[in-house]
Amino acid sequence: MFDVLRKRISNPVLYQVVAVSISLTLMILLTLLVYFANIPNPNMILIAGLVIVTSLFGLVSGIFSGLEMILYSMFFFSTDHSFFVFNQTNLYKLIVIIIGVIICVAFIGDLELRRERIAKELKEKNEELAKDVNELERLSKHDALTGALNRFAYKENKQNFVGKDLAAILVDLDDFKSINDDFGHEVGDKALLFLSDCMKKAFGFENVYRYGGDEFVAMFEYTSVEDIENRLKEMKQLFSISQDGQIATKLNFSAGYVYGKPETVDDIRLMLSATDKLLYKAKESGKNCSLGQAFGK
């Protein structure tokens, strides 16, 4: 009940008012029960009730409920129910009850405070864990160097391409091996990053996959062949402005592309295979160009 109230009542002051009201109501009903039932020694029943309400509603409710129990004990053990006049034996009983109430409320209240603290820490740890899981999932689907989606993400997303007007474009850098050999792998990595950035701008971040090595795939819904060619022209314009003067004269790309409406996942595979063949032809025909065709032709 403690947790249910916490979830339903976000205002802490209102929560305490409701919790104290419920706990006092329960203790008063229990007190009336033992009084009208003429139970000769009601303290064991009342202390059990005190433990329950403190456990359910927290320390503040326990304090008020404990005060209610002490007041009833003063009434019960006092001479002529005067609240303040006691014989020696009953006075000792009242003192023992007061000490018992204080110890009970303090102990149970402390346990509840510890439980709340542990629950808060556990919630924070779970939130951190959820962030770590999300980050691991993100990393598992993105290339570490370029930030583009990776081959695993491509395989996971293939089903989403079925039945759509899909353009599949396979791109790689011309003479990438020479770039690595002449300028080193650090410059080669910059070239790959530049290629990835240009593709993301031309085709959309969510549509670009690093397929392997210097090969990148773009998969997106197209509106016309002109749409595909305009995107390739945009990429060519972006590519002409190299961010690294060292490799400006060497940095070019070739592309093969296929467009159509795949009916199955296997059609996606066939489209990608066709782009690979067209890319190879583009390389053979002099590089720094792109070749395309409709799917199935």
CATH number at residue 225: 3.30.70.270
Q: Looking at the structure, do residues 44 and 89 belong to the same domain, yes or no?
A: yes
- Name beta bridge partners: 168: 219, 258
End-to-end CA gap in the chain: 69
pTM over 0.75: no
Q: CA-CA distance, 150 to 77, in Å (whole number)?
A: 79
Both 112 and 70 in a single domain? yes
Tell me: do 114 and 164 sit in the same domain. Answer: no
In a shared domain, residues 162 and 103: no
Last residue in a domain, options 112, 137, 162: 137
Could you say which of 70, 102, 137 is where a domain stops? 137
Pairing of strands 290-294, 253-260: parallel
In this prediction, residue 230 carries a pLDDT of 93
Structure tokens at 297: 């032709």
**Cα–Cα–Cα angle for 128, 6, 31, rounded to 5 degrees:** 145
Q: Which domain holds residue 188?
A: 151-294
Are both 73 and 197 inside the same structural domain?
no
Identify whether residues 264 and 186 lie together within a single domain: yes
Residue 145 belongs to some domain of the structure: no
Please give the tally of structural domains in the chain.
2
Residues 287 and 255 in one domain: yes
Query: Are 143 and 150 contacting, i.e. CB atoms less than 8 angstroms apart?
Result: yes
Q: Is 1 helix (H, G, I), strand (E, B) or coil?
A: coil
Do 130 and 155 belong together in one domain? no
Asked if residue 142 is part of any domain, the answer here is no
Are residues 133 and 226 located together in one domain of the fold?
no
Whole-angstrom distance, CA of residue 297 vs CA of residue 164 = 18
144 lies in some domain: no
Task: Verify that 277 and 186 share a domain, yes or no.
Answer: yes
CA nearest neighbour of 161 among 273, 255, 269: 269
Q: Kindly state whether residues 97 and 179 are assigned to the same domain.
A: no
- Do 200 and 296 meet the contact criterion of CB atoms below 8 Å apart? no
Per-residue pLDDT tens listing for the chain (297 residues): 556 666 676 777 887 888 888 888 989 998 888 888 887 778 888 888 888 888 888 888 888 999 999 998 888 888 888 888 888 888 888 898 899 889 888 888 888 788 888 988 998 888 888 887 877 777 788 888 998 999 889 988 899 999 999 999 999 998 888 888 888 888 889 889 999 999 999 999 999 999 888 899 999 999 999 999 999 999 988 887 655 555 545 678 999 999 999 999 999 999 999 999 999 999 998 888 999 999 976
